[in-house]
Chain A
């Protein structure tokens, strides 16, 4: 029973992270219909930025964290400006392959600078953050994850619900033409959604790096795990992404814990295929109305 609860907590934490990184992915997809295959590399870039700042530049953790987020925000903005903007209106496959190309470039860059080995962050989370609920022990990383994830969720909820910019972003996702007619700066919204997605990705990258260690291959494969997550939740639903993330996180930890660790990474995709066969637009996705 303890083992079960332990897995449950870990699963929810990892799932929340998946959900949050999927949220950035969904944001890009909703505003500009771009399927971002470089998402995992954005995660990895964030984690490595942070690594460089705290080990090479020896900055305090909090400052390094904030600097990383700001840096990735700018990076996302630049990516949209220089690589995706010329492709607005092009065929789907070109946009997909462009992000695949970007993914390869980023991965190559990280490998050139840091190599393919496993790095670890110095231990900076105080043991006091660990929680004990009865007989289950929640490691400091996981409780920090919970806090950060909930904080981000609340912040994003407020941003999208209350702030003007958030409402403009949602309006573009909803009806691009009408937004254009009212003077919403649509290209700025595209850029902003990339910037926010990169910021969120770097945050999840750092936390996943604390949990599993920092390794390019592991982190970038998490970018692909975003796919089952968003399909579960529907490609265009931000709330669905969070729920999808938690489901996939639980599924993974339970398969890893009870069945076999090697099956762990495939299970999300098997579930994904079944869901797609039964509900082609995901569990929470909108059915597109098509006309010839």
Chain B
């Protein structure tokens, strides 16, 4: 195994002092890898990312237990400004552009972690990855399409030169072809820049195609982990996340036994 960039040891996250969302999650991310985090809604994927980026605080959440180690240093519950300045950038779910800023201004906000340094070259780089943005650089982000916005927010995060890029559901609400394009770009970014990427996805099929390693979460716990290949060959993952029956044909609702098996598995 290569160098470990991020190590999460047995963390618990509690919202509003009562709601325990993560119940002892551990995972490790190897430098230069794409690691994908799979799971159904409410499994705690987004919370895991927010625990790392420290964006729990505005939502009244807190890491109560365990530790998060980034490049050998303990970073849990630090202020978000400090986390981002160490090179951890999270791309929020649902795109969240700055609606009243132009595309180019949006990208410039990405330089906040290293304010005052030149950024022209980085703009060129982002426009290289996402040529679709060039034509719209002067228009307000509020008027752009979903695909353009997804490219925008990924590009915005790239402007910060992230060591660790955490993408939260980049495929949300996009057409299959656009999803494909975006995933290709993610892979390319990983290869060119050597950026480590954590990918949270519902679209397990797509995610496992680009990822090196994967974790499956359920109910605030890691249920399964393995290389992308192992996971996509696993019969349970196939059935529950890839929408295939064990035999490889599309799942039939007649298959009532699957519920029982899923129960045991959980």
Contact = CB atoms under 8 A, between A and B. Distances in A.
A–B direct touch in complex (beta carbons closer than 8 A)? yes
Interface of A: 164-165, 167-168, 170-171, 174-186
B96 A175 contact: yes
A284 to B, nearest CB: 13
Interface in B102-120: 105-106, 108-113, 115-116
Nearest to B88: A183
A167 B108 contact: yes
Interface of B: 53, 55, 58, 80-81, 83-85, 89-92, 96-101, 105-106, 108-113, 115-116, 153, 156-157, 160
A177 B109 contact: no
B99 A174 contact: yes
A185 B83 CA distance: 11
A143 B109 CA distance: 38
B98 A178 contact: yes
Chain A contact residues, majority secondary structure? helix
B115 A165 contact: yes
Contacts of A186: 81
B97 A181 contact: no
A175 B113 contact: no
B140 to A, nearest CB: 10
Contact of B101 (A164, A167, A180): A167
Contacts of A180: 55, 58, 80
Contacts of B112: 164, 168, 179, 182-185
Given A164-B115, A175-B97, A184-B81, 4 more contacts: A167-B109, A181-B55, A182-B157, A186-B81
The 3 tightest CB contacts between A and B, nearest first, are A183-B84, A183-B113, A178-B96
5 contacts: A164-B115, A177-B92, A179-B98, A182-B109, A183-B84
A170 B102 CA distance: 11
